[in-house]
Structure formats: structure tokens, C-alpha cells
Amino acid sequence: MNKYYKKKILSYYLIGLVVPVLLFFFKLQVIDYQKYKRLSGKNSIRSVEIKAPRGIIYDRNNIPLVDNLPTYSLKVIPVDVIDRKTKSISDNFNIELLESIIDFDKEAFISKVMDKNQSLEKFIPVTIKRFIKFEERIVIEERIEDFPGILFSTIPARKYVSRVNLSHALGYLGLVDKEKKTHFNHVDSLFKYSLGDVYGRSGIEKAYEYSLRGKNGIEYRLVDNRGVDQGQVIQKDNLDVFNGPPLFTTIDLEIQSIVEKSLSNNSGAIICMDPSNGEILAFASSPDYDLKSFIGPVPKKQWDEWNTDSKTPLLNRVISGEYPPGSVFKLVTAALLLKKNQQNNIYECSGEHEVGVSEFKKCWNPSGHGKINLAEALKFSCNVYFYKAIENITFEDLALTAQEFNFGNRVGINIPSERKGLIPTPNYMRKKYEFRDENGLWITDWARRGTKANMGIGQGDVLATPLQVINLINIIANKGYSYTPHLVIGEKNIIKKNIDLDLNIWKFLNKAMWDVVNSKDGTGKSAKIYDKNVNIRGKTGTAQNPHGEDHSWFAGYMTARNLNKISVVVMIEHGGRGSGVASLIAKDVFSYFSSINRD
């Protein structure tokens, strides 16, 4: 065979080899291009954001109050759910089966998926339902081939693990929507928020949002050509999740348990503090709300129920409840009288006193207390004594002294919604009570119709929060100063506020408060515990209430054998006399505190 034929045979052979390969590549690149493009799109790696758990919250003894429960967010990738021919939900996606496993809004789901399928967002996971339980996830994963495009991501939810509620102190969470995302992600934001993140809406959760928040991570998931998640794929740009740091509160779990049980059948507030540093040991407002009744942020239905409840469970009565302080306020009036050296003045109480033209003010004791001095007036809580004693005191001086003790102003606790209360100044009274009568005469005699007498015993227009009242007690316990009330150990912005009064004034008030509790005829004797190693001082208050039975107050403090102190304020709505239920509740707290401070 000559060379020509050899070259020709070799050419045919090469053509026979190359042409099929070229034809195969032509089929792949041109004829079957759309088919393999779709298949390659389905075999892809998808990024999923992993939500970071918030920091665990502890009591002062390292006992967990709030932990995290791992729950799951159920998502779906629209491109894997929509049938490309019919442009509707694919028959491969068994939406009826999914409905039987979890409760979700089917119509909203279909609408959202269809809407996202019109743009590049069809490759971005759409949330079907948040806070899926582990048991529900297992059932779905057992039938995963019936749900192409479904992905799970971990989303931590709060778990309330202690035996106390502490609802108003801890607060509740909300879910970041588009509006909140814009609000949080400003130029100076410490953290970047994503849709579906949780944030603190009240209490400690809100005040310490940036202390509790962790840092979200990113992981990548392999999704096969059926839209089924095949697991995590390690990529170089994976982002690790950083949990939020722990937060240690000043709350004593045992004391908190005592005060919550005491309030279980009452409406009112109790706050207990350490006067020596401003730490809050117990913080209870009743009625409260049950944070354990749902998973995740507050559901809208639950929120609506709380908001429309006539018992106002959302009202934080410790810092936002404004009440007449009643006879507890006599401590403020007494400080002013002492400042003006009127401690030795004696007045007679016959059971009532005329403070204006035919304007009679009564004492709680209709028989009267006879001739008494200031110390006895505090011990007996005599109204008439104070009516008479402040006749030569100006309205301005009384208002200024109250403001010096921080009434009419916020005390400064750093959880939201603290109210100022009300101290009626002369300007306030003029605006509210001066008027023209039917003859056009300007009536300005409000100051002569018992308003000053009312203010002197904590009634009339005077309003105070339990937080303001315990601040008063802390000032007296420390003989002239108090610290900013706070709920977290190591709080940095603590201010020591001083009131410059003579030491003898503080000694007088402390002795008078000791008599209130420890004398056989003191109004606060129900708060006494029979332990010779402790000293309990207090003041009762019975605040008249135009909407029903009087409110019951007890405000005082105890010094234990080892010199540790606890201040206690109890306010029971419609509880009657302060010498009753409020004093008995305080006694329970004092008894426990005594038992743990004997060494």
C-alpha cells in the first residue's frame, strides 16, 4: 500500500473519531443547553444565615433565669417549588402533607413564593414558618422528597428555666421586620440586624440588647437536582456563630420567689433592694404575664390579649404605676419639719381638723390621738398632727423638699418606661384649679381648701411610684444618700445622690421608723419578726383611692446581725390599711433575709 492510501485511511480514521466528539459537544452546548442549565442550577450550593443565641441571663447566685431553646426556621427556595411549565406550585411539592404536619398560612405561602419567583429572589430562601419544634422537623425530614426546596436553619428561642416569672424585669422579645431592620442598621450600629432576628422590646432584654446579642453566622448547604438539601458544605467564606455573652443580674431567686407568691392573689408591686449599693434583689408587678406560654417573640394574638386585659398585666407597676403614697410620704414632711426645728411641737388630735371654711380633714382614728409630738405622730401615723404642723409651712417648701427626695422625677433605673409621678407645685395647682366662676370672678383660693394638708400626708394630687418610695427608704437607711437602682451586677453608670440634712434629722427619722414597727402601738408592728439580732424600721401607708378600697403600703428596711441591709416596699392595690396585708408581706421577706444573714 502506497503512502497516499495510508494517509487517506488515517484521515478517515481521525474524522471518525473527532466528528462524534464534536457532535456530542454540539448536543451538550446547543441542543441540550437549557436542559443542563436547569440541572446545574438545581445542583447548587445555597447560603443560609444562622441566628446567634442571645446571652443566658442569671440571678446573682449564678442560677439561670433565661436560657435558649434550639428551634428551627422552615424555609423554601421558590425556584425549586414552582413548575416551570404551569407557573404554579409543582405537583412534586406536597403542600397538603406539609399542612398536616405544621400549622401555617397556606395561601400566604403560595402568594409569597409566586411573588418571589418573578425575579432573582427566586433563588433566595423564603420563610414558611419560624420556631418549628424539633419533633416537627424530624417528621418533615422523614418525607423530605415530598418537599423539594425545603431548608432548615437553627433559630434560638428564649426558654425561661427558673421557678419565678420576673416578667416585667426580664421583658419580652420582638421580631425584626423591614421597618425595624432599617431602624437598627444605622451608621453607628454595633450590630447588623437581619429579617427574622429577635430584639428586646422591654425590660432587661431591651436595656441590655447590645450586651445580650450574639453575632449571626453563615453556612452553605448543598441542594441536589431534586431540590433536596444534602447537608452542609464547608466553604472558605463560612462565618462562625458567636453566642451572646452571659448577663448576671442582681436578683435573688429566693427573695423573688417569696414576693411573687405574696402577690399571686393581689394586684400591686413589691421591690427589694440593697441600700448600700443600689442593687435590686426582687422586682415584682402583679398581675404579670407568662413568658413561658409561647416560644419565640410574643405572638400577635397574645399581645392583643394582654393589651386589652382590664387588669393591665403589661403595666410595670414597680416603675410605671403611679399611686398616692399616703402616710409613707409623712417621712418627707417630717424631714421638712425637722429642718425647721419643729420636732418638739405638740398638737392635739381630736379625730378631725378644720383646714378651711367648713373644710374638715379627718384622722384615720376617729377618736383621735390626744396631745402628741412628731415622733408619736409618725408612730401612730396621725393625720391631724401633720395637718396642723404644716399650717406655717409654705406650699413651695413642701414641694421643693419632695423634689429633693426625688419625687416628681425619675429615679434613674435603666429599664424603659419609668414614670415621674407627680408633685404638685404652685404653678401646677394654678393651672389645674384656678378658674372663673359664673359671675366672672377669678377663683384662686385652692391653697386654702386643704390642698397643702392633703399633700403633707401624701394624698390629693401627689403620685409616686414604688421605685420612688424605696429610694426614699434607701436615703433614710444610709442617712442621707442613695445609689441608682439597677438590675445587673457590675453596672457602670451608678450615681451616688446625696441629700444634705443634719445627721440628727436622719437619726430622728430612723428612730421614729423603729418605733412604727417595734412599739406595741406602732402601725407597722405586723412587719416585726422576733429576732433580737435584727433591727427593722418602717412606715405604713393607707392611700385613699377614689376608684375603690384604699391602697395598702409598707416601706421599710432591715439591718441583719452581720450588718447587711435589705429595703422593702410593698404596695397592694385595694389592700386596705397599710398595717395589714402590706406589713405581713414585708415580714415574710424580713424573715427570710434574717435566716440567711445570721453569721
pLDDT tens sequence across 88-137 = 888 888 888 988 998 888 888 888 888 877 766 777 788 888 888 888 99
Give CA–CA dist 291/268, Å, rounded: 19
248-257 per-position pLDDT tens digit: 999 999 999 9
Is 60 exceeded by the pLDDT of residue 70?
A: yes
pLDDT recorded at residue 17: 66
Looking at per-residue confidence, does 304 or 577 come out higher? 304
Is 90 exceeded by the pLDDT of residue 523?
A: yes
356-382 per-position pLDDT tens digit: 665 677 787 788 888 999 999 999 999
Is 90 exceeded by the pLDDT of residue 75?
A: no
* Average pLDDT over every residue of 346-365: 77
Give CA–CA dist 47/125, Å, rounded: 9
Mean pLDDT across the chain, nearest whole number? 86
Domain boundaries, the chain: 46-55+69-158+174-248, 253-595
458-495 per-position pLDDT tens digit: 998 999 999 999 999 999 999 999 999 999 999 988 99
Closest CA to 124 of 115, 136, 134: 115
Of the pLDDT bands very low, low, confident and very high (cuts 50, 70, 90), residue 447 is: low
Percent above pLDDT 90 for the chain: 48
CB 279 within 8 Å of CB 486: yes
Is 50 exceeded by the pLDDT of residue 436?
A: yes
Is 80 exceeded by the pLDDT of residue 233?
A: no
pLDDT recorded at residue 39: 46
- Which residue(s) pair with 347 in the sheet? 372
Fold match, 46-55+69-158+174-248 / 253-595? no
pTM of the model: 0.83
Class of domain 46-55+69-158+174-248: alpha beta
Q: What is the CATH number of domain 253-595?
A: 3.40.710.10
2-28 per-position pLDDT tens digit: 666 666 666 666 666 666 666 666 665
pLDDT recorded at residue 397: 94
187-193 long-range Cβ contacts below 8 angstroms, 24+ apart:
191/215
Residues in CB range of 322: below 8 A, 6 or more apart: 419, 421, 422, 463, 464, 465
Of the pLDDT bands very low, low, confident and very high (cuts 50, 70, 90), residue 582 is: very high
The tally of CA atoms less than 13 A away on the side-chain side of residue 309 is 16
Question: For residue 442, what is its C-alpha cell?
Answer: 377669678
pLDDT recorded at residue 411: 97
Of the pLDDT bands very low, low, confident and very high (cuts 50, 70, 90), residue 326 is: very high
Looking at per-residue confidence, does 593 or 70 come out higher? 593
Measured at the CA of 163, the angle between CA 160 and CA 165, to 5 degrees, comes to 60
Is 60 exceeded by the pLDDT of residue 539?
A: yes
pLDDT recorded at residue 274: 98
Of the pLDDT bands very low, low, confident and very high (cuts 50, 70, 90), residue 175 is: confident
